[in-house]
Amino acid sequence: MYPHPLKQRLQRGEVVLGSGLLAPSPHLTGMILSARPDFLWIDTEHMPFGSEALDYIPVLARMRGVAPLIRVAHNDPGLIKKAYDVGAVAVMVPQVNTPEEAARAVEYARYPPLGQRGLSPMWTTVAGEDWNQVIKSANEETLLVLQLESRQAYDNIAQIARVPGFDVLLVGPLDLSASLGRITETGSKEVQEIMREVPKKLEGTGIAAGTTLMEVAELQEKIRWGYQFLNVGNAVSYGVQVLSSHLKTLRANPRGEG
């Protein structure tokens, strides 16, 4: 359970694949974990719950060998601290546009001397891990993901990449499309040109390029482009697509005849 090897796998250059959790349900979590993703994306930015609602879900993911990743709502020290303290291996900070914002996220995410995060990882009491040992080694395990979601962030990518202490720069295609004047058009030329360039600009920095998409062909394309940290949709959306298809088929041909 501890330490989780996600960070080391990225450092070795492996491609890691996750999937999203849309509701803080241990039963839904268990079903998703059975698919064996590398990480579980728990979104507290857009979904109507925070870390308080997660209870033992991050620990459950750890117990199943999956790294819980919590996206916080804002680059805020309280939100980042609570996400790690409830058990996150990785925390994702949205809308990081400048090197100064990146440096603040690092400060909030790392224990001294690398940052100023307060000490007391309470998930250890649920998991039965050694509280003292986790504190002493947490900086070696914890992953920090910053999101590039605007033209400003892309223009500042070289300066952001020089900030020490974060591990992944994840392109958010939807917000990026809005910033480029092509709102919701994530497949537009403007968005795709930037997405193609991001891994190139991160070469040699030790920072992995990441993104989130639904279609397998698009994910494969991004891996060819150099993306290493990829979220593969979410089980609920995929399930609804299959259900919709089955209902359409059954309504058109209930008895399977002809």
**Does 88 have pLDDT greater than 90?**
yes
Cα dihedral 174/177/183/185 (nearest 10): -80
More confidently predicted of 42 and 1: 42
Reference 57, options 73, 78, 42, 45; nearest CA is: 42
Average pLDDT estimate for 74-85: 98
Residue 250 identity? L
Is 120 part of any domain?
yes
pLDDT at 29: 98
- Predicted confidence at residue 246, as pLDDT, reads 98
- Looking up residue 144, the CATH number of its domain turns out to be 3.20.20.60
Res 1: pLDDT? 86
For the chain, give the mean pLDDT. 98
Bridge partners (DSSP) of residue 211 are 171, 230
Residue 258 inside a domain? The answer is: no
| pLDDT of amino acid 221 | 98
Does the residue 1 lie in any domain? no
Q: How far is CA 67 from the centre of its chain?
A: 10
Whether 170 has a pLDDT exceeding 90, the answer reads: yes
User: What is the distance between the alpha carbons of residues 224 and 114, in angstroms, rounded to a whole number?
Assistant: 33
CA 111 to CA 195: how far, in whole Å?
A: 32
pTM greater than 0.95 (yes/no) = yes
Per the structure, the complete domain to which residue 185 belongs is given by 6-252
Euclidean distance between CA atoms 192 and 197, whole angstroms: 9
Determine the pLDDT at residue 103: 98
Instruction: Tell whether 157 is covered by a domain.
Output: yes
Asked whether the predicted pLDDT for residue 225 surpasses 90, the reply is yes
pLDDT at residue 238, rounded to an integer = 98
Which residues on neighbouring strands pair with residue 71, listed in sequence order? 43, 92
Which one of 4, 27, 46, 74 is the catalytic residue? 46
Report yes or no on 33 lying in a domain.
Answer: yes
Interatomic CA distance for residues 78 and 76, integer angstroms: 6
Which residues face 16 on adjacent strands? 229
Q: 108-162 pLDDT, tens per residue?
A: 999 999 999 999 999 999 999 999 999 999 999 999 999 999 999 999 999 999 9
pLDDT at 258: 80
Angle formed at CA 106 by CA 105 and CA 107, multiple of 5 degrees: 90
- Tens digits of residue pLDDT in 184-222: 999 999 999 999 999 999 999 999 999 999 999 999 999
- Decide if 257 is inside a domain: no
How far is 196 from 201, CA to CA, in rounded Å? 10
- The domain tally of the chain equals 1
CA atoms within a 13 Å half-sphere pointing along the CA-CB vector of 225: 24
142 vs 124: CA distance, rounded Å: 14
Domain membership of residue 113 (yes or no) is: yes
- Least Cα distance to 59 among 93, 26, 22, 23 occurs for 26
Q: Is residue 158 part of a domain?
A: yes
To the query of whether residue 46 is one of the catalytic residues in this protein, the response is: yes
Which token pair is 159? 């300066």
